[in-house]
Amino acid sequence: MAKPKQRQDGEGSVFQTKNNGQLVWCASSTYWHEGKRRFVRGFGATPQQAIANRSKNLSQRVSKRPVERRTGTSATTLLNLWLSALDGTVGPETLRKYRRDLEIHILPHLKGETIETLTEERCHKLFYSDLNTIGTSARKHAYRTFRGMLNFAVKRRLIEASPLHFVPEPQHTSVVEQSDTKWINKRISIAKGLLRWIGQPENPYHDVYPLFLMLFLGLRRAEILGLEWSCANQLTRKGHASIVIKQQLSRHEKHSGQTGYYIKPTTKSKKARSIRLPERWRLALIEEKKKQRRSTAISSDLIFVRPNGSPWTYKTFYDTYYEVLTAYINHKRDHPKPLDESETIRPHAIRHLCASILFDEGVSLEVVQEILGHSDRAMTLHYTHLTRNSKTKAAASLEKALLT
C-alpha cells in the first residue's frame, strides 16, 4: 500500500487505503470555507478517479447552501419536559395516558414544527381538520392533554400565550351524559325517596344509611371510603360539626409492584375542603361511631367499615349501592324486575343530582363548587346545567331539599 507523502497546509495527497474492505485510492485535501478549515476526500479505483471525485465533492460543498438550523422547542421535547415536571404529582398511569394521547394523535401532525411557531389557526386546523378521522371522545381528550402541555410552556416562558386558548374544545356527549340529562327530574325524585326509605330505622338496609348520606353530600366514592375519624370535627356540637375532605381511598398502580388499596393523602383536585354537616348528617355519623367498628386493613381509623370488620372497596361499594337501589325501586312493585334506563342511577351521578338540587335551591355557584371539590367553575357548571327550573328560593339547605 502506498503511503501518503508529507504535504503542506491546503495541499492535497493521494494514497491507497481500504474502504469497506476493498483496496482503493483516496485523494484528500483541505480548504477554507466560512472561516473554518475543512477536509474533502474522493475515492476511486485509480489515482485519477480519486482526484476527480475529490474535485467533484469539493465543488458540491462550496456551492451548497448553508443549512439553516432550526431553533425552538419541538413538541416532543416539550412533552418530555412536561411529563418530567409532572412526575410525582400524578400517577404513572396518568403519565402514560398523557404520553399516549399526544404521541398517537398530536405529535405526528407537528413534525418539523416548533411550539414557538404554533398559531391559533394552526391549532384550529389540527383539531378540526387533521384529527377529524378520530372519534370525538379521543379528540376531546387529546385537546385537554395538549392544552395542559401548552399551559406548562406558558408557565416556563417558552411561549407568551397558549395558541390553543381561543380554539374551542371539541364537543363530545356520551350516552351516559345524554341519559343523565334526559332523566334528571325522575332520578332526583328517586334519590330523595331512596334516602328517606333507608333512613327508617326498621329498614333492612338502614346500616348503610350514613354511607349513603355522605354520597348525597356530593362526595366522590373514593373520598367517602377514605374518610377517617380524624377528618370529622365537633360532632357533638349541633350546628358546628364539619367534615374535612383531604384524602381518598386509592388502588395501587399496576406498575407500583403493590396490590390492594391504601389511603392517598390528597384529593382528586389536590385541594382539601371542609364541609359543614347538616344535622341529619351529624347524627348519622354519631350513629356510625357507636357501632365501634375497626378495620385491621388499610387503616384502623376508617369511618366506614363493613359489619364483618373488612374495609369497603370499590367493588363492595358498587355491589351494595345497586342492591339497595334495586330493592328500593322494587319494593313498590308487585313483581320485582331489573331496573330500566331511567331508574339506573350511577353512584357518581349522585354528585350531578346533588349539584343540581343545590343550584336549583338557590345556592351560589361558588358554594356548590366548594362542596363538590371542583378545581374550576366550568366543571361545576357542567354538573349543574341539568335543572334550572326554580331559583326563587335562596340558600335552602341540602337537608331540607333531600329529606322533606
Query: What's the pLDDT score for residue 382?
Result: 47
pLDDT at 389: 40
| Residue-range definition of the domain harbouring residue 330 | 176-403
Write down the residue that cell numbers 386509592 correspond to. 250
- How far apart CA 8 and CA 19 sit, in angstroms, is 25
pLDDT at position 72 is 86
229-266 pLDDT, tens digit each: 999 999 999 888 888 999 999 998 877 788 899 999 99
Please give the grid coordinates belonging to residue 36: 473554518
> Are both 137 and 212 inside the same structural domain?
no
Question: Is 182 in the same domain as 289?
Answer: yes
Spatial contact of 341 and 183, defined as CB atoms under 8 Å apart: yes
Q: Is residue 69 part of a domain?
A: no
Domain tally for the chain? 3
Among candidate residues 124, 155, 186, the one where a domain is terminated:
155
**What was the pLDDT predicted at 376?**
46
User: How far is CA 329 from each of CA 201, 207, 403, rounded to the nearest angstrom?
Assistant: 19, 18, 18
The predicted structure's pLDDT at residue 403: 56
50 and 82, same domain (yes or no):
no
CATH code: domain of residue 219:
1.10.443.10
Residues across the chain: 404
Q: Distance between CA 349 and CA 369 in Å, rounded?
A: 16
CATH of the domain at 141: 1.10.150
Judge if 142 and 274 occupy the same domain: no
Burial classification of residue 394, based on how many CB atoms lie within 10 Å of its CB (0-12 exposed, 13-18 middle, 19 or more buried): exposed
Do residue 110 and residue 225 come from a single domain? no
Q: Are residues 206 and 328 in the same domain?
A: yes
| Residues 285 and 388 reside in one and the same domain | yes
Is 310 part of a structural domain of the chain? yes
Residue 193 domain-assigned (yes or no):
yes
- The reported pLDDT for the residue numbered 123 is 95
- At residue 396, the pLDDT reads 39
Residue 254: the pLDDT is 76
| Strands across the sheet containing 273-276 | 232-233, 242-245, 273-276
Whether 330 maps to a domain, the answer reads: yes
Q: What is the pLDDT of residues 33-70, one digit of tens each?
A: 766 778 888 888 899 998 998 988 888 877 765 544 44
Residue ranges, the chain, pLDDT below 50: 1-2, 4-10, 67-70, 374-397
> Are residues 199 and 326 part of one domain?
yes
Cα–Cα dist 292/300, whole Å = 11
How much is the pLDDT for 90? 81
The answer to the question of residue 375 being in a domain is yes
Give domain status of residue 248, yes or no. Answer: yes
**Same domain assignment for residues 293 and 369:** yes
- Same domain for 184 and 95, yes or no, is no
Q: What is the predicted pLDDT for the residue at 115? A: 93
Exposure of 17 in the CB half-sphere (CA atoms within 13 A): 14
Q: Are 229 and 243 in contact (CB under 8 A)?
A: no
pLDDT at 369: 59
Position 38 scores a pLDDT of 83
Is 394 found in the same domain as 283?
yes
* Domain assignment of residue 110, yes or no: yes
Strand partners, 19: 22
C-alpha cell at 340: 330500566
In a domain, 253, yes or no: yes
257 shares a domain with 138: no
